């Protein structure tokens, strides 16, 4: 994405990269990444690159009551946990605080770069845009990032702006997407216009020009007004080679065939997958299934787990011991009694259903 934005500035905006002459520029002081229209437009490009999984998990480990932590396999959307715990708002605030510190570091750096460059290249007017790109981080949704930007950029009550040399912040994420009413895919692009831009309409027009040209270059059309509070899905990065279980997860995301089932129906499918897979993985006198049958069972199990995690269902609600007699009959139908006894933990009489 960084390379794509660089090409956009050099071609669509006819800008030049100051990094191409960085030794000369650095000898004089700090400088932004790009200048356009004879220094009328200054652009500094920042990236949200660091994987946040460990940082997010540390917050949950520290703040969530162990008795309230859900049980799940694989990964689950953090929002599912936040929605169900008693101190969800405090956890959300802690996550936002971590993001805010990252945003503040980026804004502080960009502000100094713009100030230094303007100081040695005096021009009556110019527009400075700090562009924050995200093509890696899935943990921080667009609304959370924009809220952090707003919190850092807004003027304190009665005070001067903390970052007076930034006219606007443009946040572009291609790690999240939403589906529009016409079934087109849309990526979030958010703009924060600082006081220095709002008081001069021509600056706002230039900022909007940059955003619209980016939209045309990436989608072929104008940007549309959206609601960042609406849910966004995460874009999966598809490698040339992936493990089989990741391929099954991707396959399910493209065709979520279990999505319309009730939780109780999903519970039956999950336990049936566990029971059938046990034919291959538990020791017993029954005939072992073929490799093809075992692979099919593993694929089904992986995909039902994906649906369970998508809903945020606690795995304890899927417990086999909570099945009713009629549900057990469906789950164990056609399986050897020896296996049923093992899975039930208590031997039962009679033949398999």
* pLDDT computed for residue 61 by the predictor: 85
Residue partners of 169: CB distance under 8 A and separation at least 6: 107, 129, 130, 131, 132, 149, 153, 191, 192, 194
Instruction: Report whether 33 contacts 43 (CB < 8 A).
Output: yes
Tell me which residue of 340, 350, 351, 347 sits closest to 276, measured CA to CA: 340
What confidence score (pLDDT) does residue 158 get?
63
Strands lying side by side in the sheet with 16-17: 16-17, 34-36, 41-47, 127-134, 168-173, 189-193
Judge whether 139 and 52 are in contact, CB under 8 Å: yes
Cα angle 229-207-174, degrees, rounded to a multiple of 5: 45
6: its two tokens: 């660089």
For residues 309 and 76, the answer to whether their CB atoms sit within 8 Å is yes
Give the pLDDT of residue 65: 87
Q: Tens of pLDDT along the chain (353 residues)?
A: 899 999 999 999 999 999 998 888 888 999 999 999 999 999 999 998 766 667 777 888 888 888 888 888 877 777 778 888 888 888 888 888 888 888 999 999 999 999 999 998 878 889 999 999 998 887 778 888 888 999 899 877 666 788 999 999 999 999 988 888 888 888 999 999 998 899 899 999 999 999 999 999 988 888 888 776 667 888 888 888 899 999 999 999 999 999 999 999 999 999 999 999 999 999 999 999 999 999 999 999 999 999 999 898 999 999 998 899 999 999 999 999 999 999 987 544 444 43
Residues 6 or more apart whose Cβ sits within 8 Å of residue 276:
297, 335
pTM summary value: 0.77
């Amino acid at each position: 994405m960084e390379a794509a934005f660089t090409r956009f500035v050099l071609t669509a905006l006819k800008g030049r990269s100051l990094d191409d002459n960085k030794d000369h520029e650095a000898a004089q002081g700090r400088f932004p990444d790009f200048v356009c229209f004879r220094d009328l437009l200054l652009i500094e490009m920042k990236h949200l690159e660091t994987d946040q999984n460990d940082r997010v998990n540390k917050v949950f480990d520290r703040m969530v009551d162990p008795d309230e932590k859900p049980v799940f396999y694989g990964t689950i959307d953090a929002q599912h946990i936040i929605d169900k715990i008693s101190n969800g708002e405090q956890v959300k605030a802690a996550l936002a605080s971590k993001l805010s510190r990252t945003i503040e570091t980026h804004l502080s750096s960009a502000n100094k770069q713009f100030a230094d460059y303007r100081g040695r290249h005096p021009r009556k007017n110019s527009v400075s845009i700090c562009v924050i790109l995200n093509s890696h981080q899935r943990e921080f949704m667009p609304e959370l990032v924009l809220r952090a930007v707003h919190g850092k950029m807004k003027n304190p009550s009665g005070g001067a702006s903390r970052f007076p040399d930034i006219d606007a912040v443009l946040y572009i994420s291609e790690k999240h997407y939403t589906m529009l009413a016409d079934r087109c895919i849309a990526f979030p692009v958010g703009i924060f216009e600082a006081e220095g831009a709002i008081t001069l309409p021509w600056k706002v027009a230039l900022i909007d020009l940059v955003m619209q040209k980016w939209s045309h270059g990436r989608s072929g059309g104008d940007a549309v007004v959206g609601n960042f509070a609406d849910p966004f899905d995460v874009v999966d990065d598809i490698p040339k080679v992936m493990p089989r279980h990741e391929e099954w997860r991707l396959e399910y995301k493209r065709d979520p065939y279990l999505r319309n089932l009730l939780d109780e129906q999903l519970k039956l499918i999950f336990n049936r997958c566990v029971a059938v897979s046990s034919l291959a993985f538990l020791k017993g006198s029954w005939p072992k299934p073929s490799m093809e049958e075992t692979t099919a069972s593993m694929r089904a199990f992986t995909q039902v787990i994906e649906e369970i995690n998508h809903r945020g269902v606690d795995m304890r609600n899927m417990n086999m011991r909570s099945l009713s007699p009629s549900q057990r009959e469906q789950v164990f139908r056609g399986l050897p009694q020896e296996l049923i006894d093992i899975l039930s933990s208590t031997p039962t009489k009679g033949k398999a259903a």
